[in-house]
A and B are shown apart, each in its own frame.
Chain A
Amino acid sequence: MHKIADVEIQHDIMVANSKLAGRNQKILDDADVFSVDVLGAIGSGKTSLIETLIQKMDHNIGVIAGDVISKYDAGRFEKYDIPVVGLNTGKECHLDAHLVKHAFGDLPLDSIDLLFIENVGNLICPVDFDLGSHIRMVVISVSEGDDTVEKHPLIFQNADLVVINKVDIADAVGADQDKMVADVKILNPDVKVIKSSLKTGQGLDEIISSLETFMKQ
């Protein structure tokens, strides 16, 4: 005899990820590590900004290089003689908490106090996947067009710090940088928005002092 049964599952993949992310944050807290999830489109300057911060900030910094081309990015970080793990996301369009947990195993967390996690270059897919980081820093650039913010509202609503990079070329690409700032404020009035250029150094001090403030909280 066969019988038919209904089985309730209620397994939400997003919720499962959030739980893992919570555990990741606990691991970081136990090791006194402050962690920043760095999100943004391909080529917005995520790797360049992290490289600059490694040189300018007086902390023991570690990096999880999670962009699709992480081997290449990991090489850029390694030359600063800091702990770096490249995550091979392959064809995946976002990092998730499970992948990040694996990376922890390859990092000397006890000797790191600031951990940057460079997410996959994508303004949509990573939004729903918390990694367990303490803050999310979104890095976009004027060269992506000044309608970038309007078109990708969710990532800005979930950001703790927004960097609008490459303002040195704003005029050249015809982008209205102040419109981009205003668009972020419409979505998330309390978030700190910083205009920066890694070519001229504009905005860097402000980014550093914001990160320092978050670290003290």
Chain B
Amino acid sequence: MHELSMADAMVKTVLDVAEKNDATEVLEVTIEIGKLTMLNPEQLKFLLDVLVENTLLEGAEINIVEVPVEINCNECEYTGAANMDDSDHYLAIVECPECGERNVEITAGRECNVKNIKIEKEEGDEDA
């Protein structure tokens, strides 16, 4: 799996935004991970914790929010949350809860989104 390259891209994104906003410290990072990305949140968190060492991000609280799977069914009119069976398969199987078919269009659950950060910054000179 590609947790490492994803974690690396996330850290780069956050550092870039933090620097542009003159952050002296990053307190919190929120990342949304779709259930279908096959990224393991535990593994991702571990890698992020390692990658942020000696950066502005060191010590930040990293929140990983899992995004559930949503579908438009191609067999019936159903739209909404999907049935997921990830019990006995390596990869989650997505089914329509109405008709049980697997011919579905996935509309949510594939996110890998750096949502927002909370930073600390020096008060600007403007009101000095």
What is A's interface to B at a CB cutoff of 8 Å? 1-15, 92-94, 124-125, 128, 150-154, 157, 186-189
6 contacts between A and B (CB under 8 A): A9-B117, A93-B2, A153-B91, A153-B93, A186-B103, A189-B103
Tell me which residues across on chain A come within 8 A of B6, comparing CB atoms. 13
Tell me which residues across on chain A come within 8 A of B103, comparing CB atoms. 157, 186-189
Identify which of B21, B24, B91 gathers the most chain A CB atoms within 10 Å of its CB: B91
| Beyond A9-B13, A124-B90, A153-B102, 16 additional pairs, beta carbon < 8 A | A1-B122, A1-B123, A2-B121, A3-B120, A4-B118, A5-B21, A5-B120, A9-B116, A12-B111, A13-B112, A13-B114, A14-B110, A93-B1, A150-B93, A151-B89, A153-B91
Knowing A12-B113, A92-B2, A153-B102, the reply to whether A4 touches B14 (Cβ < 8 A) is no
Tell me which residues across on chain B come within 8 A of A93, comparing CB atoms. 1-2
Knowing A153-B93, A153-B102, the reply to whether A6 touches B118 (Cβ < 8 A) is yes
A7 partner, pick from B21, B24, B74, beta carbons under 8 A: B21
Q: Is the interface of B mostly helix, strand, loop or mixed?
A: mixed
A20 to chain B, nearest CB (A): 12
Identify which of A93, A154, A189 gathers the most chain B CB atoms within 10 Å of its CB: A154
**B38: Cβ under 8 A from any A Cβ:** yes
Knowing A9-B17, A125-B1, A152-B91, the reply to whether A4 touches B119 (Cβ < 8 A) is yes
B120 partner, pick from A2, A92, A157, A186, beta carbons under 8 A: A2
Say whether B2 contacts A154, CB under 8 Å.
no
**B96-111 interface bits toward A, Cβ cutoff 8 Å, 1 = contact, 0 = none:** 0000011110100011
**B60: Cβ under 8 A from any A Cβ:** no
A125 to chain B, nearest CB (A): 5
Say whether B112 contacts A12, CB under 8 Å.
yes
Tell me which residues across on chain B come within 8 A of A94, comparing CB atoms. 2
Say whether A9 contacts B14, CB under 8 Å.
yes
Tell me which residues across on chain A come within 8 A of B37, comparing CB atoms. 14, 128
The 5 closest A-B pairs by CB, nearest first: A1-B123, A12-B113, A13-B112, A11-B114, A9-B114
